[in-house]
């Protein structure tokens, strides 16, 4: 029985059996397969309608904000699964404005959104919560932060809670959780299981690669993987779709992968493979420029983009304009590195399949010509967001929801959700919510300032209305604060908004 199978069975048994432990933490280095185990656990229990909540942390500029979303997401998922909890939660938040607009305090969120509604409830069966990549939460340094809060407070959850957490073994996280009450620890390199990792990768490669043509190479590829599932996954996809440099030949590609490592610049195994893939698919400078622009936006976005949101944003760019077909064609080549880029569903999120890929791209010493400058990606997104908001056809406009009257509160508007989905496409909603998050990571520029000035002078009320009716009005104060800080880097330029009208909030 391989490592992955053994860990899956161990975790499944732990979830199903009565236990004093509320949490199980799986530690492992990048590429060892801990995320795939977390996703498989979530998939299996979701199929049985027994997964309550699944939360994936991504390394992004606004990741600390994301850390607080863990508790609001869990509360929402609990409400969706358990009507009694939903009723109890409604009573808690009804008269609490701070909770509704988004408090930034772990204790308050945990106590009010989770523990308080459960106080008089008795839910039968395990309540499973999966938290993947805790180390990417942005708040796990030192002896305080999300990791320390979870270590101290998981024991306070009802006894039928089971929280599965994965993380890289960073010192602060290991220190906090290893000694925490009600927490069990497992490692991907567990001595009882590590010896079988090779068998797991071998099985995976045999399933992926056609045995009639490539079966003789599978064992050698499994050895070359050195226990890294991510390497095996990326390598197998490269073999199945070999680039021109290998004459589009699977066998030529696989023989190249099996050559002794050139150890370019001290690259590790995964980084060297990433370099091979990108150099193979994107040969000329124009293709590499487009790669940096598109993938830079994907790894910098505040919330994951989908094809439906990314393409319209790029259509309103002032930079690197390329056809939609060029962008989607580029993404199709990255199926081993990015999620959902080859799916027929354009509403699925696109994220790196492994955090090591983002680490590779944002380290110039590792990625070289494929280096993604985060600040430049923020500038491009700020540019696109503002252009879309100001666009006379696709952007903000008076009464964008086509409401018959302005005298009704939001909750009294019939079919409000349908109107929102119909009149505020994903790219426009993203721009309304996050233009300021990208702006604050750019240097002050007169061109960007003029567009912000136009937004506030001509479409300020429309922006507030869009936020209000999508229940995002709580983002407006932080946008004002961000704008003030951005303007502070200029020569004291100020913006004056026009008069306001009732936004039904």
Strand 23-27 relative to strand 161-167: parallel, antiparallel, unpaired? parallel
pLDDT of res. 20: 81
pLDDT of res. 194: 56
What does the DSSP assignment read for 188-219?
A: TT-TTTGGGHHHHHHHHHHHHS-HHHHGGGHH
pLDDT of res. 320: 62
Tell me the C-alpha to C-alpha distance, in Å, between residue 298 and each of 58, 184, 275, 331, 446.
11, 35, 19, 11, 26
**Helical segments of 110-249, H only:** 116-118, 146-153, 171-178, 197-208, 211-214, 218-225, 229-240
Please check whether residue 52 is in contact with residue 76, taking contact to mean a CB–CB distance below 8 angstroms: no
What is the C-alpha separation between 66 and 339, in angstroms, rounded? 20
Please check whether residue 149 is in contact with residue 2, taking contact to mean a CB–CB distance below 8 angstroms: no
pLDDT of res. 262: 57
| Core vs surface per residue 304-334: b (16+ CB within 10 A) or e | bbbbebbbbbbbbbeeeebeeeebbebbebb
**Which pair of tokens denotes residue 338?**
């990015």
Tell me which DSSP letter residue 410 carries: G
Residues facing 55 on adjacent strands: 131
The model scores a pTM over 0.75: no
Q: Find, among 75, 80, 32, the residue nearest to 230 by Cα.
A: 32
What residues in the chain have per-residue pLDDT under 50? 1, 61-63, 100-101, 264-266, 496-505
Q: Find, among 376, 374, 341, 369, the residue nearest to 359 by Cα.
A: 374
Classify domain 285-372 at the CATH topology level: Arc Repressor Mutant, subunit A (1.10.10)
Which residue do the tokens 């490669």 mark? Answer: 205
pLDDT of res. 252: 92
User: What helix, strand, coil percent values describe the chain, rounded to 5?
Assistant: 60, 5, 35
User: What residue segments make up the domains of the chain, in order of their start?
Assistant: 3-192, 195-260, 285-372, 385-488
Classify domain 3-192 at the CATH topology level: Rossmann fold (3.40.50)
């Amino acid at each position: 029985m391989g490592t992955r199978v053994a860990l899956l069975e161990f975790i499944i048994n732990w979830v199903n059996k009565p236990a004093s432990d509320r949490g199980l933490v799986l530690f492992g280095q990048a590429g060892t397969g801990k995320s795939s185990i977390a996703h498989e656990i979530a998939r299996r229990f979701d199929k049985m309608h027994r997964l309550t909540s699944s939360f994936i942390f991504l390394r992004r500029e606004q990741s600390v904000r994301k850390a607080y979303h863990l508790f609001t997401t869990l509360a929402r998922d609990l409400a969706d699964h358990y009507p009694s909890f939903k009723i109890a939660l409604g009573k808690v938040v009804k008269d609490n404005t701070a909770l509704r607009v988004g408090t930034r305090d772990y204790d308050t969120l945990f106590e009010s959104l989770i523990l308080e509604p459960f106080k008089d409830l008795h839910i039968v069966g395990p309540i499973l919560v999966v938290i993947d990549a805790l180390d990417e939460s942005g708040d796990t340094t030192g002896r305080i932060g999300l990791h320390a809060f979870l270590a101290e407070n998981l024991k306070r959850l009802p006894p039928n809670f089971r929280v599965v957490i994965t993380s890289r073994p960073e010192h602060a996280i290991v220190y906090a959780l290893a000694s925490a009450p009600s927490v069990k620890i497992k490692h991907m390199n567990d001595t009882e299981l590590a010896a079988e990792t090779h068998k797991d990768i071998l099985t995976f490669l045999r399933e992926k690669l056609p045995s009639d043509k490539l079966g003789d190479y599978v064992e050698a590829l499994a050895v070359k993987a050195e226990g890294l599932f991510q390497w095996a996954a990326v390598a197998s996809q490269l073999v199945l779709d070999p680039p021109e440099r290998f004459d589009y030949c699977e066998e030529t590609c696989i023989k190249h992968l099996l050559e002794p490592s050139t150890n370019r610049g001290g690259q590790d195994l995964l980084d060297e493979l990433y370099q091979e893939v990108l150099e193979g698919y994107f040969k000329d400078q124009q293709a590499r420029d487009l790669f940096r622009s598109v993938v830079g936006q994907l790894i910098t976005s505040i919330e994951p983009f989908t094809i439906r949101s990314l393409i319209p944003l790029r259509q309103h760019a002032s930079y690197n304009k390329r056809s939609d077909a060029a962008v989607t064609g580029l993404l199709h080549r990255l199926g081993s590195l990015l999620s959902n880029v080859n799916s027929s569903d354009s509403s699925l999120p696109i994220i790196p399949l492994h955090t090591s890929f983002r680490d590779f791209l944002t380290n110039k010493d590792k990625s070289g010509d494929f280096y993604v400058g985060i600040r430049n990606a923020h500038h491009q997104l700020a540019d696109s967001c503002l252009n879309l908001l100001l666009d006379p056809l696709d952007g903000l406009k008076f009464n964008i929801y086509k409401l018959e009257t302005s005298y009704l509160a939001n909750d009294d508007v019939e079919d409000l959700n349908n109107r929102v989905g119909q009149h505020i496409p994903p790219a426009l909603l993203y721009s309304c919510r996050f233009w300021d998050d990208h702006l604050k990571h750019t240097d002050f520029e007169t061109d960007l300032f003029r567009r912000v000035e136009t937004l506030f002078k001509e479409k300020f009320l429309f922006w507030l209305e869009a936020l209000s009716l999508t229940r995002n009005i709580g983002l407006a104060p932080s946008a004002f604060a961000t704008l003030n800080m951005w303007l502070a880097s200029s020569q004291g330029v100020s913006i004056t908004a026009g008069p306001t009208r009732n936004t039904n909030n």
